[in-house]
Structure 1
Amino acid sequence: MLSDLAPPQIRAITGLELAAGVFAKCSDQLASQLQVSLTSGRRDGGPRGLRIGINGDVYGGMRAPVEVGTRRVDIAYVNPSALVAMAYRGKGYYRQKLPLRVLGGFPSWDRVALVVSKDLRVKSLRDIAERRIPLHVSTRLSGVNNGTYYTISTILSFYGLSFEKIKRWGGKVQECSRPFAPDRLKSIAKHSIDAVFDEGVSTPGGWLDQALGGGYEIVPIEPEILRKLEQIGYSRALLPKSRYAPLEAD
């Protein structure tokens, strides 16, 4: 409650709220880093800066832990949290352990779903690798610094797969900047793609709900692959039947 605070604290909070409102409106177009200047209000007290990484592949993706670990920024918003565990352990993308500390966690229901057309009769990603299926697959924007793309590429690699191999077999890769990109939703509705590999599955009526209701099914990740992912820093999670009615089981 602001009423419990002293006037200087109230002014500080009000100023930060105003700045946050302005920043939020322009952050998608302009900003990847927020810098806060802390001053005492005295002429002899110089400003102390606090650099906070917000958006983009550098400040919001795979590079974010590196930026903090090397002190190019002081705080970064990292999603998914598995990237922090990976960086702290020096696993996967990160070649050395980084000196990181967690200030807090954002309650994000992150899941990666691997969805294929039922027409393919695929029960495992191994089937795709063994049959060299020329998939038309929709996924996130490419680039190793994109956390989602890196995660999906890592999963595929444990099956001997990659997007480049799929292309060599005659397949196509539709890259989307967001899980709910209009081109993806149109492709699902027309059934013009064979698979979707992405996250952003929690929104009711989102891409996963549309896919499961339109002739697609989830391909599970085998326990031995899950263990490899856990060794890097990822955590296993379920897609519950209670949330996704078309599923035969969790």
Structure 2
Amino acid sequence: MLSATAPDPDDKAPSRRDRVRAATIEEIKTTAMRMLREHGADLRFADIARDMGMTAPALYRYFADRDELLSALMVDGFAEMADALTSALDSAAPDDLAGRIRAAAIAYRDFARADPSRFSLLFGLPNPGFGRHSEHSSGPAAGATMAALEGLVLSVVEHGKRPTPLVRVVGTTWADEAGTIAQRNDGTRIPADIYQSLLHFLAAVHGFACLENFDHLNWVTEQSRDELFDAQIALLVVAMGADQ
């Protein structure tokens, strides 16, 4: 009988061929992301292959087309964003809504500023014709990022707190949809008005990050942008009922 720590004899280590393939896929993605940072949206297989010392047709052994490669980059990017948000929220007390708002907002902005090209890839639609996330494998990854953001309010609800958002009026259609979207596997639900306030948070923080990332706030100094963002957080604390 196998012990709890004994390796499963059916689990085979990846073959050398599998390891080489996995390493090549990572190199392709790293090269593609670097080219997006250096040259912008015009990403072509021929350029990636030339940089890697490969032929363009050889890349099709790893990715069916450019869209599949972009989807893979987006999956990685959304996973990194979800990790950043989760880590930030883990640093805040689970029942401290104001602290969680601040932690998540700062993490969101920091993620955007740390790598503007990555943020643009995820949210700026830099490649015409690529389509919506829902049409590609990046869709579930984007959903996982939203699930991480739900942790901002979910833990507060789970700890028995019931913040009162500034706007409590909820449309009937949204109330029905929120009841489905916010239902957790364990039966916990985020009330529709609180979930609505979370989307207000997302719109405000994402909007600020986009304005900043796409140089629409370059007419004010960085210190002023920091102060404006702090004011945005203070507004969200009130709007989400965390000042009670």
TM-score, reference length from structure 2: 0.29
More helix by share: 2
